Amino acid sequence: MKLIIAIVQDEDAAELSRALIKKEIRATKLATSGSFLKAGNTTFMIGIEDQKVDEVIEIIKTYSHKREQYLTPNMAMGSAMLNKSVEVTVGGATIFVLPVESFIHF
Ligand code: 2BA
């Protein structure tokens, strides 16, 4: 078994959630935020059998879109302050696949 941790943009979370439910793939959604943009994002925790990992990654890919976002002037970036807008490309998704030592569900 594996644990997939997938960070997606909030805008993609509802559709991804629906697609996972439709495929009977269980997931937990966490409201998170990125350290760089400090904007909200959504983290999915998905416990899944090894042979279904690729299928889940394909589903996440289908519903996670790349978007341009702006760091606005005066937004703190580390200790530096910006004085003009900076464009960054966010997403599709950031995915970690971890081995699961044991899975207990009752
Ligand atoms: P944020 O940390 O808010 O980052 C948003 C976007 O800003 C990133 O998009 C990337 O394009 C840019 N960015 C982040 N850190 C940067 C830096 N030090 N210098 C220049 N540009 C930087 P994504 O790479 O698609 O990441 C989207 C979100 O996924 C991140 O939000 C963060 O919440 C998460 N994430 C990305 N990589 C991660 C990692 N290695 N570990 C944990 N979370 C990660």
Which residue's CA is minimally distant from atom 12 of ligand 1?
Answer: 88
Position 86 confidence tier, pLDDT thresholds 50, 70, 90: confident
% pLDDT > 90, the chain: 77
User: Alpha carbon of 1 to those of 43, 47, 85: distances in Å?
Assistant: 19, 7, 43
Residue ranges around ligand 1 (CB below 6 Å) = 7, 34-37, 39, 41, 88-91, 94
Q: Write out pLDDT tens, residues 6-29.
A: 999 999 999 999 999 999 999 999
Kindly tell me if the per-residue pLDDT of 75 is higher than 80. Answer: no
Task: Report the separation in Å between the CA atom of 105 and the middle of ligand 1, taken as the mean of its atom positions.
Answer: 32
Hey, is 65 helix, strand or coil? Answer: coil
